[in-house]
Amino acid sequence: MELSPESRILYYTLLSGLLADAVDLSALSSGLSVRRDDPLLQSLVKMTDEWVEREEAETRLRQEYANLFLLPGGVKPYESVYRGSEPMLMQQPWVDVKRFYRRCGWHLDESALPEDHVSVELSFMAHLLSDGEHDESSEFFHQHLNQWIPQLLRDIAENRYADFYQSVTDYGLAFLCAETEICEGKK
C-alpha cells in the first residue's frame, strides 16, 4: 500500500494519541469525519460511529483505557517490558531508545511517560518523518517499533477488557503492515 509522507505522519500521530491516553471520542469523531473513506481507518470509523451513540461512552472509554493500560489485568505498553531480558521497566531497550532519540537531537520534555512508551515511540516516528529524516525513520522502525508494537497490539486485541480498542488495534496492525512494506523498500 502506498502512503504519502503526510499521511504517514498523520497515521503515526493518530496511533500515538490513541495509545497515550483515554480516547476523546468527540475529538476523534470530528477528526475522522474528513477521512471516512480512508481504507486504513475503516474499523476505527465504524467503531467511533457506534460509540458516539452509546450512553456514557466517554466514561466507558476511560475505564477501558484504565483496565487495558494502567491496571494489572491489562498490557504493559513499554518496549523494555516486551524486549528486555526481564519483563520490567527501564531495561536495556529503554536505554537504546533514549540513545536513538539523542542521536537524532530529540529530547523528551518533562513527561509522565518514559521514552519507550508506545505512544512516545510512535510520536518520535511522526517527528522524524515530518523532519524528512527518512533513513533514521526506517532504521528506528526496524530496530524498535516493528520489534514489539505489533505484538503489543495483538495482546491488546486479545485482552478481555478490549472493546473500543479492538478497532485501534485493527488500525494499528494494518498501518504497521503497510509501514513494513514501505520501510522494507528503504532497507
Partner 1 sequence: MFSLTINGIEVMAKEGMTVFEAAEKAGIYIPTLCHHEDLSTFGACRVCMVEADGSLVTACRAPVEEGMVVRTDSPEVRQVRLSNVELILANHNQDCQTCDKNNNCKLQEVSAFVGVTPERMQSMRRFVKDEPVDDSNPFFYRDQTKCIMCGICIRACEEINGVGAIDFAFRGYETSVSVLGNKPIYDSRCESCGECVERCPTGALAVKDQSIAEREVKSTCPYCGVGCGVTLGVRGEEVVSVRGTRDHPVNHGELCVKGRYGFEFINHPERLTSPLVKKNGAFEEVSWDEALDLVADKLSGYREQDGADSLAGISSARCTNEENYLFQKLFRMAGTNNVDHCARLCHAPTVAGLATAFGSGAMTNSIADIEEAAAFFIIGSNTTETHPVIGYRVRRARKKGAALIVADPRSIPLAEQADVHLQLLPGTNSALLLAMAKVIVQEKLYDDAFVADRCEEFDEYIEALESVCLDELADITAVPKEKIIQAARIYAENTPSTILYAMGITQHSHGTDNVLALANLAMLTGNMGKRGGGVNPLRGQNNVQGACDMGALPNVFPGYQSVISPENRRKFEEAYGVELSGEPGLTLTEMFKGAGTGDIKALYVMGENPAMSEADTGEVKEILEKTEFLVVQDLFLTETATYADVVLPAASFAEKDGTFVNTERRIQRVRGVINPPGEARSDLEILCDLAGRMGMSGFDFSGPEDVMEEIASLVPNWAGVSYQRLNGDGLCWPCTDEADPGTPILYTERFLREGGRAKFSPIVYGPPQETPDENYPLIFTTGRVLYHFHTGTMTRRSRGLNALHDRERILMNPVDAENLGLNAGDTARVISRRGEVTVEVKPAPQIKEGTVFMTFHFAEACANVLTNTELDPASKIPELKVCAVRVEPA
Residues near partner 1, by CB under 8 A: 21-22, 56, 59, 62-63, 65-67, 70-72, 76, 78, 81, 85-90, 95, 112-114
Say if CB 180 and CB 146 are below 8 A apart.
yes
**Which residue shows C-alpha cell 532504521?**
139
Shortest distance in whole angstroms from residue 117 CB to partner 1:
10
Shortest distance in whole angstroms from residue 8 CB to partner 1:
29
Closer residue to partner 1, CB minimum distance, 77 or 172: 77
Burial of 125 (0-12, 13-18, 19+ CB in 10 A): buried
Closer residue to partner 1, CB minimum distance, 34 or 112: 112
Q: How far, in Å, are 64, 146, 159, 165 from residue 61 at the CA level?
A: 5, 27, 15, 9
Number of C-alpha atoms within 13 angstroms, CB side, residue 12?
Answer: 23
Shortest distance in whole angstroms from residue 25 CB to partner 1:
14
Shortest distance in whole angstroms from residue 59 CB to partner 1:
6
Say if CB 129 and CB 5 are below 8 A apart.
yes
Closer residue to partner 1, CB minimum distance, 56 or 109: 56
Closer residue to partner 1, CB minimum distance, 10 or 75: 75
